[in-house]
């Protein structure tokens, strides 16, 4: 499968713990995006990279969130000191031109 992959697919954590998600984009896609989706809502933009440079961050991305794309390939999204409000689906997308291709998402549940 040469699509966007995300790991883990599901994560259950206790409030206050740190979690890290990984996204592997489609090979040679230079742009990578993170979105968050809560129940009944459309995905909301969090941040985006062109190669290894993080070019934009949404105001939704609080100080507890950090994203990296160290070699311009895979990306990680870390949430520190998780809160129940962080429970959501975290989606990754990649593109090389104009169309974004999404991964299956990581569903985070904070108990």
Partner 1 sequence: DAKTTQPPSMDCAEGRAANLPCNHSTISGNEYVYWYRQIHSQGPQYIIHGLKNNETNEMASLIITEDRKSSTLILPHATLRDTAVYYCIVRVRGNRDDKIIFGKGTRLHILP
Give the residues lining the site for partner 1 (CB under 8 A).
4, 31, 33, 35, 40-45, 48, 55-56, 91, 93, 95, 97-105, 107
22 or 80, CB closer to partner 1?
A: 22
Element (H, E) at 42: none
Kind of pairing, strands 5-7 and 53-57? unpaired
Would you say 14 or 27 has its CB closer to partner 1? 27
Tell me how far, at minimum, the Cβ of 40 lies from partner 1, in Å.
Answer: 7
Minimum CB–partner distance for residue 37 and partner 1 (Å) = 8
- Give whichever of 9 and 15 is closer to partner 1, judged by the CB atom: 9
Residue 17 CB, nearest approach to partner 1 (Å): 24
The two structure tokens encoding residue 110 = 């904070």
- Which helix (DSSP H) or strand (DSSP E) does residue 16 occupy? none
Q: With respect to partner 1, which residue has the nearer C-beta, 17 or 41?
A: 41
Task: State both tokens at 83.
Answer: 């809160």
**Per-residue DSSP letters for 18-75?**
-EEEEEE--TT--EEEEEEE-TTS--EEEEEEETTEEEEE-TTS-TTEEEE-TTSS-E
Minimum CB separation of residue 81 from partner 1 in Å reads 26
């Amino acid at each position: 499968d040469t699509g966007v992959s995300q790991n883990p697919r599901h994560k259950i954590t206790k409030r206050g713990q740190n979690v890290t998600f990984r996204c592997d984009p489609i090979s040679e896609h230079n742009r990578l995006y993170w979105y968050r989706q809560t129940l009944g809502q459309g995905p909301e933009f969090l941040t985006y990279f062109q190669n290894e440079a993080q070019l934009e961050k949404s105001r939704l991305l609080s100080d507890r969130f950090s994203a990296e794309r160290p070699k311009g390939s895979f990306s990680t999204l870390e949430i520190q000191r998780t809160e129940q409000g962080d429970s959501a689906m975290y989606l990754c997308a990649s593109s090389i031109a104009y169309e974004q291709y999404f991964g299956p998402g990581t569903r985070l549940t904070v108990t």
